[in-house]
Structure formats: C-alpha cells, structure tokens
Structure 1
Amino acid sequence: MGEGIHKHMGLYALAWPIFLEQFLRIMINYVDVFMLGHYSDEAVAATGVANQILVISVIMYGFISVGVQILVAQMLGARKHDMIEKIITNGLIVAFFIGIAMSIVFIFLSDTFLRWLGLSEELIQVGSPFLEIIGGSSIIIAIHSSILPILRVHGYVRQAMLVPITISIINVVGNYLFLYGSLSFLDLGVAGVGIATMIANFVGMVLAIWMLKKHIGYLFTFKKIKLCSKKLLFAILKLGLPSAGENMSYAGSQLVVTAIIALLGTEALTTKVYASSVSQFVALFAIAIGQASQIIIGRAVGAKELDRAYEQGLRSWKIGLGIALVVSILLYVFAEPVMSLFTSNAIVIHMVKQLFLLSIGLELFRATNIILISSLNATGDVRFPFIVGLIVMWIVSLPFSYLLGITAGLGLVGVWLAYLIDEGIRSALMFKRWRSKVWTLKSVL
C-alpha cells in the first residue's frame, strides 16, 4: 500500500483542494437549479425538496468515510501499513451494502417520501422520477464517496479533486443536452437531469476506483472478503456513527427551523434561503481547514506526537477564525450588491443585510465548532461533540428560535439570535474540551 503523503504536508496544501471540491459540490446544485429555473418553476420546487431528501441519504453513507478516514490516518501515523488494506476493504464492503439498501428504498418509496413532505400530486409527478433515478443509483455515490477520503488521507488531495470536477462537467453538459440540447426531443425534463447526474456519478466512481489502484495500489477482489473483521467494522461504525448522528440531527433541526420560519410568511422564507445559501460559502473555508487539520492531527496522534496534534488544532482554529472574520465582514459591507445578484426585492435585501451583521459573530462560533469538532474526531474523541450537539440543538436552538422569532416578534432576527446562542454555547464547550486534552486518552490504536 502506498505511503502517499509527504509526512509534513502543510495545512494549506491539503486545505485548498478540499475547499475547491466542496465549492464545486455546492455550485453544481445552484447550476441545476439555475438550468431547471429556465425550464419550469415546478421543476425547481420538486427537485429542491428531492435534494433535501438526498442530503439525508448522503449523510447515511458519509459516516463510513469518516470512520475509515480517522482509522487510516492513525494507522499511517503509526506506520501500520498492513492494517490499511483491511480497513479499506471493510469500509468498501459496508459502503456497498448501505448503497444497495438505499437504492432499493429510493426505487420503491420515492413518491411516498415526497407525499410525506406535503408536495401536491402535480409536483410529485415531476419530482418522483428525479428522486428514483438519483436515489436509485445510491450504490454508485456510496462507493466513490468512500474512496475519496482514503485518497485524501494519503495526501492525494489534488487527485481526489478530479472526481468532483469530472462529475460537475458531465452533469452540466448532460443537463443541457436533456433540457435544451440534442436530447430535448425525448422530453424527459427533470428525469433527464436525473439521468445526467447518474451518468456523471458513474464516471466519477470508475475514476475513483482507478485512482485507488494507481496511487494507493488497492484493488478490490473477492479474495479480500476474508479481510472482513467484526472488530474493524465495529471500529469504523464507532467512529463514524456519532458524526453521522450529529449531521442528521443538524439536518433535522434545520427542517424544524424552516417550519418555524414558514409561520413568518413567504418573504421570510425566501430571505432565509438566500441568507443560508450565501453563508454556506463562508462555512466552506472552515470546512476545508477542518478536514485538512483532521488529516494532520490523525497522523500525529497515530505517531504518538500528541503535543504536535494539540498545537495543530489551535493553529488551525486561529487561521479559521481570521478567515471567517474577514469574509463575514466583507459580506456585510457588500450585502446589497451581492444580494441584488439573486433578487430585486428591496425588503428581502434589507432583511438579509440585518442577518449578515449578526452573522459576523455567528460565523466565528461556527468556524470554531467545525474546526475543533474535526480535530476532536481525528483523535477518536467522537462522542462528546455528538452528545453536545444533540442536547444544544434540540434543547436550546429550537425553543429559542420559536421564542425569539415568533413569541417575542423578532422574526428572522430572532431565529438568527437563536443560531448565535446555539453555536456560541457549543463552541465554548468544544474549545474547553480541546484545551483539556481529555482526547489524548481516546486514540483508536
């Protein structure tokens, strides 16, 4: 198995390709919406809801890659290369079975999911084929999603980035062909976009499998099934499930907050969508630094260099704070020109500007959480962030959203203050946890 990473590959060298990859993932959603918007409004509404369901499915197999990435990083640090092949095999087999299960669920239950979310029959007709095709090919997404973290943790971050770039290009070209180009005579509409996405993901999977062989020297064969071990499967799940649980809990609480905001009317809901979409980009910096930091800290912990791991966590956190502060201040200053790209509604633009002012504090807390939780996860300390997230999101964030937003009549500003309180409490607890060094006792090895 290839050693890959140059032992002291720096934070920036690891972070920028991860940033670009995450940026592309978000952009492809916007491009889909933009292209569908010119096709029909029903298509945008139906695929928007379908995508919310697909996000939850991505979290389902996302936890495998988290578990595999933490284990591989620590084994690389400890130079236990014989273990890496076993970990990869166990990870891929779990991904395969979860992918198959998810595919079957989506093929048979897509209409039911859309009905549960209250879509009209007309929109279900539009959205269901889209969900069936993309959800039904979950197995493809599960496999390439679990290979990319293995490449990254070996230091092949730039190579891993080629997969989402390829997927994005094929997806956009396919969308164009089905909606407006030479395949538009088939009149597949949204189903065509689903097919384009599925083909793009399939090419991405083949590319990921080829890179795993080329750079790390790993190729799955049926002989390798004997490398399956209960102990390793348990370790992957033990490390991965809490992070999935935290993401699921966040996605769930966001759905409830959206329902609370819906009580404030359409304008508030529109404003929330715009403000959240733009703030997604601010969070990308912290996500990239957090993931890069996770790779470095995981290796340091594996090599028993705990002081180096501790210092790296603090350094990454300070860099992340600096970037979050600068970007969120710039967003506030340029709120009007930025928002006028999306909407001409003066009320919405004014409301978003108020939220961007609060977001300066919010983004500092959020960056702290993203980076320090990634750092704690890298050490194997996964349960603490999960439990804190669960308690604070559901006991603080949601009731405060309702109390400040609806009862106190502060509207969206109230909801944003509730976000601030939620992220603030969690960031204080994460910082304290990192400083306490309790995580030094949690190493997987």
Structure 2
Amino acid sequence: MQQNIKDKRTKIEGIDRLAQFIKLVKEALSGEERDYTNGNIRKALFMLAIPMVLEMIFESVFAVADIFFVSQLGDDAVATVGITESITTIVYAIGFGLSMATTALVARRVGEKKYSKAAKVSVQAIATGAIASVFIAFVGIFFSKDLLRLMGANSTIVNEMSGYASIILGSNMIIMLLFINNAIFRSAGDAALSMRVLIIANCLNIVLDPLLIFGLGPIPGMGVEGAAIATCIGRGVAVIYQFVLLFKGVGKIHIKKEHFTLRWKTIQKLINLSLGGIGQNIIATSSWIGLMRIMAEFGSAAIAGYTIAIRILIFILLPSWGLSNAAATLVGQNLGANQAERAEKSVWAAGKINVIFLGLIGVLFFLFPRFFIELFTLDQGIVENGIQALKIISCGFIFYGMGMVLLNAINGAGDTQTPTLLNLISFWIVEIPVAYLLAIQFGWNQDGVFYSIIIAEAVLTLIALYWFKTGRWKLKKV
C-alpha cells in the first residue's frame, strides 16, 4: 500500500516537473519583456537560450533548403552556390563582427536601464552595416564574373550562372541588417523576436525556392538565379518585419525619429569592437581551410568522412552556441547594472550546463559513431574515416563546452581583442602546425589532424579560463 502511494507521488512529481518545463518553454518563446539583471540565473539562461538555439537552427535551414532544391539542377548549379557562399563569408564575417559589437554595447545600455541610449546605439550599428554593404554590393554587381573566375569556377558557371552571385552579393545589405537587427533583439533580452524573424524568412524561402527555381504557371523557372531571388525575398521581408518591431517598440528597443543622427564616436567604437569579431571569424574560417589542405593528402574518402563528421558536430553544437550567446547577453546586461559578480555567476552556470550537455553527447558519439555517420553515407571507406573523426574529436567536447562560453562571455563584456588573440594562438600557432607534425611528420595521417583539433581547443579553453579568472573583463568600459 505504502509503495503504491510512493509510486503515485513520484509520478505526480514527474508530471509537475514536465508541466513546469513546458511552461518555461512557452514563456521563453512568448517574447514577453523581462529583467535579466535579477532573479534566478539558471532560469534567465534557459529563457534566453531556448529562442537563441531555435534561431540558429532556422538560420542553418536556409543553406540546407537552397542546396536541396538547387541540387536538382546539376553539379554546376550546386558549385555556383558553394563558390558564392565561400565569397559571401566576408559578408558573414563583417556581419558577425558588427553583431558582436552591437551585443556588447546594447546589452550594456539595457543593463543600465538606458533604453534611449540603447536605441541610439542600434541606429549607429544599422547605419554602419548599411554603409559597409554598399561597397560589397558594388563589387558583387559589377565584378561577379571576375570573382567566380578567381575562385576557379568553370566557364559554364562564369558565363551562365554568375547572376546568382550578382544577386546574393548585390543584396548583401539584407544579410548584414538581418544579423545586426537580430543582435539588437538578443542583446536587449528579446531573443524570441529574433527567432520569429527567422521563422518568417525560412518559411518564405522554402515556399519560393521551388516556385522561382522551377517555375509554376505564369511564373517562369529562373534556375539557380531563382534560388538567389527567393533567398533575398525571404530575408528581405524578415528585415522589414524587424524594422516594424523596432519602430513600434515591441521589445525593449524603440527606435524613434530623434535617434536618426549619425554619431561618429559611437560608429568608431562599433568598428573598433567589430574588428575583433571579424578577426575571430576569419581566423577560425581560414584555419579550417588549412586543415582541409592537410586532409587532402589522404584522399577523397578521408576528406568526405571528416566533412560529414564536422557537419554532425556543428549541428549538435547549435544548442551550446545558443547557451553561450545567452551567457554573453547576461554578462553585458549585468555589467551595465553594476552587478559584476552576477555576470560571473552566469558564466559559470552556463559553462557547467554546457560541459555536462556536451560531455554526454561526446560519450554518445564515442560509443555509437557508426550510427551517425551512416545516416549520411553507406560508403564504407567514407564511413570508417568519419567514425574515426567523430570518435577522436568528440573526446574534446568538455573543452569545447567551457571554451565557447568563456569566449562569448568575454566578447559580451566588450573585450573582443582578447578572444581574437586566443583564436590566433590556438588555431594558427597551435592547431595548424600540430596537425602538420602529427599527420605528416609523425605519420599519424588523418588521425593527426583530428587530435590537433582537441589539442588546440584545450589550449584555447585553458588560456581563456586563466584570463577569465583574472577578472579584467569586468573592468571593460564600452
């Protein structure tokens, strides 16, 4: 009898916990205004992280949807998208850098409860991104064929499909503003608004892609250029929606007419902060190219297995990136509210959760790598290489979990130079040389590349941990 009562209590408690969890998820997605400078830190992290994770997943859906439909047009069409994406990384790098700078400044002003100043900073960030995009658009519209030729595209791509690059690069302002506006929402604690924006953009893109690529009724099929137009329309409507939210003051940031004055000191501060973010992006991207060059020594099967493993790892890291972004927002807002200790506690809480989460995922990947690799291919040569990559790289998940939180927290404090330096040390001074030594000189082959990733991430995390504990980031003024 007592056992039955105990079982019922346990069941009721479990149902209550599930109900509370569902309630928290609904609150996180509701977009209601909250003050993240007080209250339970773990709840604050959860409320910010859930919409941020979904936002990142929706952003990744863009690339998947485009490739899915474009792949039906043939190899040249897919290559056009791939080559253009590699050129567009400069746009993403600048957008990423400005977003990071925007997060640091807006979060600090929101923490200070200076919402009008936060709106002024937002306008300066938007203006800076728009100005930068004009120069890229000019080059993209008038020199797209030259850029494709420079990247090694064949004559068919250059002469028949360069329209895709012209449209994507010519409309890069849409990408830039999408990045910056969503950074404004996130840093103000309105992460649910960022998520809604990308839901709209993705839904439109998925509907318009097949319609404009293949045509329907009176709408002519435009091939690969149709994919570019669909992407621009989807993102363009999302940007318009962002401005509607900002001008109506739906979240904490309410942009008004009086904010439309260029403030060169603020723009200069944004540029100085963004240089660190741009540098971090370029360093990480270029180091990946360096690793791929070493991997090329071991054949296509090794490259394919490594590529599939990395895609799996990147996807599973999305929740961790969302949590890290939430930590950056909490750091900025709490420093603005003169609560440095709460900012630090937020980082340790996020780091602990991230380490546990990625540690469990790492064990799963180490024990059952074949299952995940074979979701993408059954070619045993590729599978075996993918298994080895997944097993070895996942051993470093604990380092990744803490490292990404620490770096994002330091960025969120407005110190973008330190993470840039740490990235340079870890990825270029450590990772690339170690990969070459282990793989080529010591004869470990592709395994040497995989181990170099763990070593580099461990170095990055340990140095970041030391720097974070010094507390110098708390003194950063922005």
TM-score range, shorter chain: over 0.9
1:366 aligns with 2:395: no
1:162 aligns with 2:191: no
Residue pair 1:67, 1:239 contacting (<8 A) in 2 also: yes
- Pick the aligned partner of 1:5 from 26, 31, 34: 34
Q: Which moved more, 1:311-320 or 1:121-130?
A: 121-130
Query: What is residue 112 of structure 1 aligned with on the other side?
Result: 146
Give me the whole-angstrom Cα distance separating, in 2, the residues matched to 1:93 and 1:148: 15
Query: What is residue 333 of structure 1 aligned with on the other side?
Result: 367
TM-score norm. by structure 1 comes to 0.93
- Pick the aligned partner of 2:265 from 215, 228, 231: 231
1:406 aligns with 2:435: no
Length, aligned pairs only: 441
Tell me, what secondary structure is at the counterpart of 1:218?
Answer: coil
Deviation at 1:183, TM superposition (A): 6.4
Give me the whole-angstrom Cα distance separating, in 1, the residues matched to 2:358 and 2:413: 24
- AA at the equivalent of 1:198: C
Give me the whole-angstrom Cα distance separating, in 2, the residues matched to 1:126 and 1:362: 45
| 1:83-94 aligned within 5 A | 83-94=117-128
Judged with a 3 Å threshold, the aligned counterparts in structure 2 of structure 1 residues 46 and 267 are, in CA distance, closer, same or farther, namely farther
Larger Rg: 2
Deviations along 1:101-126, one digit per CA (max 9) or x if unpaired, are 22112112222222222222223345
- Pick the aligned partner of 1:137 from 171, 181, 186: 171
Give me the whole-angstrom Cα distance separating, in 1, the residues matched to 2:83 and 2:448: 25
- AA at the equivalent of 1:288: G
Tell me, what secondary structure is at the counterpart of 2:395?
Answer: helix
- AA at the equivalent of 2:234: A
- AA at the equivalent of 1:96: A
Deviations along 1:205-241, one digit per CA (max 9) or x if unpaired, are 11111111231463464x6443x22221122122222
Judged with a 3 Å threshold, the aligned counterparts in structure 2 of structure 1 residues 364 and 113 are, in CA distance, closer, same or farther, namely farther
Overall identity of the aligned pairs, in %: 25
Q: Give the unaligned 5+ runs of structure 1.
A: none
- Pick the aligned partner of 2:254 from 218, 221, 241: 218
Query: What is residue 306 of structure 1 aligned with on the other side?
Result: 340
Deviation at 1:242, TM superposition (A): 0.5
- AA at the equivalent of 1:258: M
Deviation at 1:167, TM superposition (A): 1.0
Residue pair 2:101, 2:414 contacting (<8 A) in 1 also: no
1:54 aligns with 2:88: yes
Judged with a 3 Å threshold, the aligned counterparts in structure 2 of structure 1 residues 373 and 44 are, in CA distance, closer, same or farther, namely same
Give me the whole-angstrom Cα distance separating, in 2, the residues matched to 1:175 and 1:334: 36
1:442 aligns with 2:476: yes
Judged with a 3 Å threshold, the aligned counterparts in structure 2 of structure 1 residues 417 and 68 are, in CA distance, closer, same or farther, namely same
Residue pair 1:46, 1:126 contacting (<8 A) in 2 also: no
Judged with a 3 Å threshold, the aligned counterparts in structure 2 of structure 1 residues 206 and 345 are, in CA distance, closer, same or farther, namely same
Give me the whole-angstrom Cα distance separating, in 2, the residues matched to 1:100 and 1:14: 33
Give me the whole-angstrom Cα distance separating, in 2, the residues matched to 1:318 and 1:173: 40
| 1:275-354 aligned within 5 A | 275-354=309-388
- AA at the equivalent of 1:286: S
- Indicate the RMSD between aligned Cα atoms, in angstroms: 2.1
Q: Which moved more, 1:390-399 or 1:342-351?
A: 390-399
| 1:184-199 aligned within 5 A | 186-199=220-233
Tell me, what secondary structure is at the counterpart of 2:216?
Answer: coil
Q: Which moved more, 1:248-257 or 1:198-207?
A: 248-257
Give me the whole-angstrom Cα distance separating, in 1, the residues matched to 2:362 and 2:284: 22
Q: Give the unaligned 5+ runs of structure 2.
A: 1-31
Deviation at 1:319, TM superposition (A): 0.6
Judged with a 3 Å threshold, the aligned counterparts in structure 2 of structure 1 residues 319 and 59 are, in CA distance, closer, same or farther, namely same
Give me the whole-angstrom Cα distance separating, in 2, the residues matched to 1:138 and 1:224: 24
Deviation at 1:5, TM superposition (A): 3.1
Judged with a 3 Å threshold, the aligned counterparts in structure 2 of structure 1 residues 152 and 5 are, in CA distance, closer, same or farther, namely farther
Tell me, what secondary structure is at the counterpart of 1:263?
Answer: helix
Residue pair 2:97, 2:277 contacting (<8 A) in 1 also: yes
Q: Which moved more, 1:113-122 or 1:187-196?
A: 113-122
Judged with a 3 Å threshold, the aligned counterparts in structure 2 of structure 1 residues 138 and 172 are, in CA distance, closer, same or farther, namely same
Deviations along 1:382-441, one digit per CA (max 9) or x if unpaired, are 211111211332222112222222333323211111111111111100011111212122
Judged with a 3 Å threshold, the aligned counterparts in structure 2 of structure 1 residues 233 and 185 are, in CA distance, closer, same or farther, namely closer
Residue pair 2:124, 2:263 contacting (<8 A) in 1 also: yes
TM-score norm. by structure 2 comes to 0.87
- AA at the equivalent of 1:275: A
Residue pair 1:392, 1:422 contacting (<8 A) in 2 also: yes
Judged with a 3 Å threshold, the aligned counterparts in structure 2 of structure 1 residues 174 and 334 are, in CA distance, closer, same or farther, namely farther
Residue pair 1:140, 1:202 contacting (<8 A) in 2 also: yes
- Pick the aligned partner of 2:68 from 34, 48, 52: 34
Give me the whole-angstrom Cα distance separating, in 2, the residues matched to 1:184 and 1:30: 27
Query: What is residue 260 of structure 1 aligned with on the other side?
Result: 294
Tell me, what secondary structure is at the counterpart of 1:381?
Answer: coil
Judged with a 3 Å threshold, the aligned counterparts in structure 2 of structure 1 residues 97 and 340 are, in CA distance, closer, same or farther, namely same
Tell me, what secondary structure is at the counterpart of 1:38?
Answer: helix
Judged with a 3 Å threshold, the aligned counterparts in structure 2 of structure 1 residues 109 and 334 are, in CA distance, closer, same or farther, namely farther
Residue pair 1:43, 1:126 contacting (<8 A) in 2 also: no
Deviations along 1:33-85, one digit per CA (max 9) or x if unpaired, are 22222331222222122212212311112222211211111111122233222
Tell me, what secondary structure is at the counterpart of 1:186?
Answer: coil
Deviations along 1:155-210, one digit per CA (max 9) or x if unpaired, are 22112211111111111111111334516973421111111111111111111111
1:19 aligns with 2:49: no
Give me the whole-angstrom Cα distance separating, in 2, the residues matched to 1:378 and 1:336: 38
Deviations along 1:295-336, one digit per CA (max 9) or x if unpaired, are 111111111111111111111111111111112222333322
Tell me, what secondary structure is at the counterpart of 2:396?
Answer: helix
Residue pair 1:59, 1:248 contacting (<8 A) in 2 also: yes
Give me the whole-angstrom Cα distance separating, in 2, the residues matched to 1:47 and 1:289: 30
